[in-house]
């Protein structure tokens, strides 16, 4: 009993220290402080996250994006979760870069369905200049339709981020995936620093950063806290933080991983909200497996962005009608 009480005091003290430094512009979160958030009673954590959320956002509004895979499969990377890796035997078929007219038709459909941002994803390790040229045209044309633009194309070479900026790109997605100490268990064909270098080039080009990770790959809670610490402690935290739930695909190394408890996923959303109060926290891959009740808890915990409509890369999301029905039940507005 004494040990439990002492642990609670230590937990409380860590949270007090965090609260005291939160007002400093250079405040940093330690992994221990983030773990202390994860350890809070569920109702206390959700209350705290909801309070932070209301201080920074309309709690009844959700930003809606649509993500289209403009080039599918054939990637040379070995990401253990990804069915688009060429080395894994999955049902994903390699497809060339989509034609401009087809991309614009998908963007129009997304806008008509209520999406405000259109994200284009290509399964490249790093785009060659000849591959980038048609994507720049896509970005410019989608931007001209009145949509925010986002792209995820892999690691960027010198000068490519600036080209994307000049084409009209608003956001670049490049996820850290997990904590540095767990990264090598999932990916070996690139380093953590490779990811950070691309994010630095995106920032230098004055493009908004979309960066998050994948939960449920067999990582520990400490490692989940480590991922959040990496994101929250950036000089400028990402404007958009996608939190993905691992979608297991037969043929990939992570197929068969023990499923993550849904409450742990909700806790991760809440911790992301508390540590990154001004970022949009997005429910991304895996949302279709959660059900309405868990999704509602995520919105209460501070999630305020989703992907809907088209397929999320190779993972099918709930259709527009189902999402709209849930929003109606919760009285949530799409923005």
Residues catalogued as catalytic:
75, 79, 82, 119, 150, 210, 282
Contact 76, 125 (CB under 8 A): yes
Contact 120, 151 (CB under 8 A): yes
Cβ atoms within 10 Å, residue 157? 14
Taking phi over 0 as left and psi of -120 to 50 as alpha, with beta for the rest, 134 belongs to alpha
**242 in helix, strand or coil?**
strand
Tokens read off for 159:
């000068």
**25 in helix, strand or coil?**
coil
Contact 243, 290 (CB under 8 A): no
**182 in helix, strand or coil?**
helix
Contact 198, 155 (CB under 8 A): yes
Q: What is the dihedral of CA 176, 180, 184, 185, to 10 degrees?
A: -90
Contact 85, 253 (CB under 8 A): no
Cβ atoms within 10 Å, residue 96? 10
- Which residue spans within the chain are E strands per DSSP? 61-71, 117-122, 148-152, 171-173, 208-210, 213-215, 240-245, 280-283, 305-307, 333-334
Cα distance between residue 130 and residue 138, in whole Å? 14
Cα distance between residue 252 and residue 116, in whole Å? 33
């Amino acid at each position: 009993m004494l040990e439990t009480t002492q642990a609670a005091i230590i937990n409380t003290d860590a949270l007090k220290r965090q609260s005291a430094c939160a007002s400093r512009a250079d405040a940093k979160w330690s992994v221990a402080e983030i773990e202390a958030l994860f350890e809070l009673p569920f109702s206390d954590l959700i209350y705290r996250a909801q309070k932070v959320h209301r201080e920074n956002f309309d709690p009844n509004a959700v930003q809606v994006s649509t993500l289209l895979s403009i080039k599918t499969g054939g990637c040379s990377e070995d990401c253990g979760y990804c069915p688009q890796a060429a080395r894994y035997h999955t049902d994903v078929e390699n497809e060339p870069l989509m034609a401009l007219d087809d991309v614009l038709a998908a963007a129009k459909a997304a806008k008509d369905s209520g999406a405000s941002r259109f994200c284009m994803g290509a399964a490249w390790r790093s785009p060659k200049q000849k591959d980038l040229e048609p994507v720049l045209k896509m970005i410019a044309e989608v931007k001209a339709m009145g949509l925010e633009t986002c792209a995820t194309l892999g690691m960027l070479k010198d000068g490519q981020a600036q080209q994307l900026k000049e084409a009209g790109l608003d956001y670049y997605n490049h996820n850290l995936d997990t904590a540095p100490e767990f990264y090598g268990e999932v990916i070996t064909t690139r380093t953590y620093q490779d990811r950070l270098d691309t994010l630095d080039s995106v920032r230098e080009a004055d493009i908004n950063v979309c960066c998050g990770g994948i939960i449920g790959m067999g990582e520990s809670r400490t490692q989940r806290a480590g991922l959040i610490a990496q994101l929250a402690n950036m000089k400028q935290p990402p404007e958009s933080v996608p939190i993905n739930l691992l979608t297991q695909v037969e043929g990939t190394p992570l197929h068969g991983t023990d499923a993550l408890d849904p409450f742990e996923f909700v806790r991760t959303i809440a911790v992301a909200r508390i540590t990154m109060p001004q970022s949009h926290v997005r429910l991304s891959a895996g949302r279709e497996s959660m059900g309405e009740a868990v999704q509602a808890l995520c919105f209460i915990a501070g999630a305020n962005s989703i992907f809907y409509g088209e397929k999320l890369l190779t993972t099918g999301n709930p259709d527009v009608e189902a999402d709209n029905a849930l929003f109606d039940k919760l009285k949530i507005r799409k923005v």
